Structure 1
Amino acid sequence: MDTEQFRQVRRFNRVVTERIGVLSDNYLGSGRPLGEARLLFEIGRGGANVRDLRARLSLDSGYLSRLLRSLERQGLATSQRAADDARVRRVALTPKGRKEWSLLDRRSQDLAISLLAPLGDRQRERLLAAMEEVERLMRASSVAIEAADPGSADARLCVEAYFHELEERFETGFDPARSTSADPGELVPPAGIFLVARLDGQPVGCGALKVTGRRVGEIKRMWVAPSARGMGIAQRLLEALEKHAVEFGLDVLQLDTNRSLDEARALYARNGYAEIPPYNTNPYAHHWYEKRGLRRRTSPGSKWVGMRP
């Protein structure tokens, strides 16, 4: 990234924050700053769990607690332990809070109208299309990819969803016991690694690397939740796994896939994976791929296209 890219981001931030009125302590005429107003809106008429609010708004526990105490002092919200789980704290709006929520909702609608009304039809379409694209890319940039315990709750959730999708998409269904192994014990260093992609604190994808021989590894468990597809998460997972493969001293990566997984085959092809003869007896595989020369990509003067910061 060059200096002009950073400057463009900063210019965009300045224009947007000024235009939507978040620089004062009176957001939408509510008499409170944006942080409080947004939290009030996110609690919503149905209430919300504190941990969900923290993840959704990317707030640390201390700051979120201060905001919640402020809303409670104003008589807008109350909090208590969830009836079904004492570990979970739940927040609900009071009648006064629900009235304030409705007022914020109306004023937010008015703000949206004020942004669109001065524009011609063509300009309005361009602005809305640009907003949709910015929203999609901003969400994509907030996805975090990290190593995880393959036996953790998030990892199990991803793998179970992955198996369920294969069961639906494969012509003959899918039984993981008949497939080539990728047990949790095979996906922890130095035998391998398991990665989880999270969006708003929730797991939305996974990928694994399994060391299978001297300088040889295998890509396993590549999956992205349908709700998060189109954000480039699969690409980032693959790049991250390749980076870890190099760190493990591997020079060759292999993988197999089913003919029904067109998106996966396209992903591997555009990342330099060449189709090869079968290297295993996986009954669900119709295509086998291999990528060589991973270590050369980290040599002096070469460009590694690994995990993006």
Structure 2
Amino acid sequence: MLLDNHNRHINYLRLAVTDRCNLRCNYCMPSEGIDFVKNDKLLTIDELVTLSTILVGRGIDKIRITGGEPFVRKDLMLLLRHLKKLDGLKDISVTTNATLIGPYITELKELGIKDVNVSLDAIDKATFERITRRDQYDTVHENLIRLISEGFNVRINFIVLEGQNEQDIIPILELMKHYPVSVRFLEEMPFNGGSKSFQTIKWDYKTILGHITNAFPKYTKLKSPITSTSINYQIEGHKSTFGLIPSFSRTFCGTCNRLRLTATGDIITCLYGKPKANLRDILRHKGNSDKIKEAILSAINSRAKTGFEAQQEHKSVFSSSMTSIGG
């Protein structure tokens, strides 16, 4: 079991497999993109398997595959096949923009990997294309409907962006009310690759809730796991649920059970903090699992108590891109 220095049980790994993405969302990075790392700096599939095996052996029982966009990596299914064989790993899930997942849906289902988070910040095509700077709406919509119809546990992650997509909040809830999905609204996060600078947000989770309940006054608050980052609700008459993730307000830090491993091997104990060690370098230069375990334990034993405390570790957190941090 992994316990941090604040006695929080760490059992959930967010594993980034690439820093690359085929979209250029304006809240994540500038239109020209960012400087993606060279392939030799990325963890190989064998290295991802090795590090995952070590972490599962230390008590990680849930792994979420993130990026960048995970399916940009053409060998991703090799990793997933290996992870399914790990004793002690109870849950594998994927976060994707749903542009490239189509050819892999059948095998994901066969492997039993049915928890899929789809990043979708607009239900209107024109708004989607303005935000993503790409013409992929029809593909995303088709893959989303296929995932739902084939029985995947789908959660839609919708980042509320002031002046861009607030008008889509109610329509996406209206559209999804017929399906057993969760639509989760996130506060905008300050990881935008330098695309803009901000210290406050208008659309915090309380404002989003007020906007939704003004349109749908009959709703129920749902009980959520203690480690959940979302506050969850259900509107009367809807098959779907909706959640609010205070990703800027950071109200969930006290029960955080997450560890992040970036595509380049950085181990990150808080989304807002600095990397604590690079496991890729230890693995390649020392090849010693004991050294890797020592680095993991050292990182976990020096975790910040909150995201606000972790943010003080560096000055440039706001110019980082989520694709390089690992989702």
TM category (shorter chain) comes to: under 0.3
Higher relative contact order (CA 8 A, sep 6+): 2
TM-score (norm 1): 0.26
Structure 2 length-normalised TM: 0.25
Larger % of helix: which?
1
